């Protein structure tokens, strides 16, 4: 995918097969792979909407790409490296994964930070060293964060905004989002998506965004990835499917 065929892909998945291991560290005999013969290449600047029904394998795929599950290094390469074996990918901020663990902690730069303790949003956000002040200020504005928020008292939506801010402080090269906007209101979600689009267009970042909320997304993705039963059913440029009446109808016809 992407328009620049000469550049190296930012994400390469080659015949990925994955089954959760048993207590001995190996898949149980006769177990069916959750992800089976999954292959995909993504390039700099790609904004991919990952869709599929519950249990289709979306979260597992994102976690594998985010280095949270071990697979053979040749099966999955992110920025030319193995996300599981090369922890510098995530500690540098080049690879950022934002997913379901937000209720308990924020995973940022290799550290796990509790997000429900009695601490201000300001202390959490400004406590991360080496951040461009302009980028930090832009994210605080985009996400409409009140720096006086106490993290043990805020709503789920406010807590989610702080998590997203923490995950985006460093200029990522690859960003993986797993239903991360579910608690945001319509305006906050729209502002965040506008920011993420700019990241891809101006910095060449690659984003995979798994969501079931399609309102307002018709102009956001460059590609649609549809997964069912652990297999990639299709990966299409958005330009090829714009003839469909709208994104929601197109997706619902497959999911």
pLDDT in tens, 133-151: 999 999 999 999 999 999 8
The mean per-residue pLDDT over the stretch 160-167 comes to: 90
Sign, Cα dihedral of 87, 63, 165, 2: positive
According to the model, what pLDDT value does residue 178 have? 92
According to the model, what pLDDT value does residue 231 have? 86
**Measured distance CA(199)–CA(171) in Å, rounded:** 8
Place of tokens 């992407």: 2
pLDDT in tens, 185-236: 889 899 999 999 999 999 999 999 998 878 778 889 999 999 988 888 888 8
What is the share, in percent, of the chain residues with pLDDT greater than 70?
A: 84
The mean per-residue pLDDT over the stretch 121-140 comes to: 94
pLDDT in tens, 22-52: 776 677 777 788 888 899 999 999 999 999 8
According to the model, what pLDDT value does residue 142 have? 95
- On the question of pLDDT at 113 being above 80, the answer is no
Domains in the chain, ordered, with CATH? 11-105+172-252 (3.40.50.300)
pLDDT in tens, 62-98: 999 999 998 999 999 999 999 899 999 988 889 999 9
The mean per-residue pLDDT over the stretch 168-184 comes to: 91
Sign, Cα dihedral of 119, 124, 129, 131: negative
Tell me the average pLDDT of the chain.
84
According to the model, what pLDDT value does residue 248 have? 56
Residue 85 near residue 69 (C-beta atoms within 8 A): no
According to the model, what pLDDT value does residue 5 have? 47
98 by DSSP, 3-state: which?
Answer: strand
Paired with 225 in beta bridges are 50, 235
Paired with 187 in beta bridges are none
According to the model, what pLDDT value does residue 57 have? 87
């Amino acid at each position: 995918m992407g328009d620049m065929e000469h550049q190296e892909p930012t994400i390469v998945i080659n015949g990925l097969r994955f089954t959760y291991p048993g207590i001995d560290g190996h898949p149980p005999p006769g177990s069916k792979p959750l992800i089976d013969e999954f292959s995909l290449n993504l390039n700099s600047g790609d904004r991919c909407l990952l869709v599929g029904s519950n249990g289709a394998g979306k979260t597992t795929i994102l976690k594998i790409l985010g280095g949270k599950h071990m697979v053979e290094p040749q099966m999955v390469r992110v920025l030319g490296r193995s996300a599981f074996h090369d922890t510098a990918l995530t500690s540098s901020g080049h690879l950022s994964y934002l997913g379901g663990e937000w209720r308990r902690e924020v995973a940022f730069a290799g550290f796990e930070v509790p997000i429900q303790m009695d601490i201000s949003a300001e202390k959490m956000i400004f406590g991360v060293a080496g951040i461009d002040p302009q980028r930090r200020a832009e994210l605080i504005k985009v996400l409409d964060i009140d720096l006086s928020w106490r993290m043990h008292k805020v709503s789920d939506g406010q807590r989610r905004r702080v998590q997203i801010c923490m995950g985006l402080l460093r200029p990522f090269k690859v960003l993986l989002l797993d239903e991360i906007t579910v608690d945001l209101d319509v305006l906050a979600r729209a502002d965040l998506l506008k920011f993420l689009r700019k990241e891809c267009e101006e910095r060449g970042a690659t984003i995979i965004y798994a969501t079931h909320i399609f309102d307002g997304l018709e102009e956001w993705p460059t590609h649609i990835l549809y997964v069912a039963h652990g297999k990639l059913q299709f990966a299409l440029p958005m330009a090829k499917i714009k003839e469909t009446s709208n994104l929601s109808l197109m997706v619902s016809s497959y999911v």
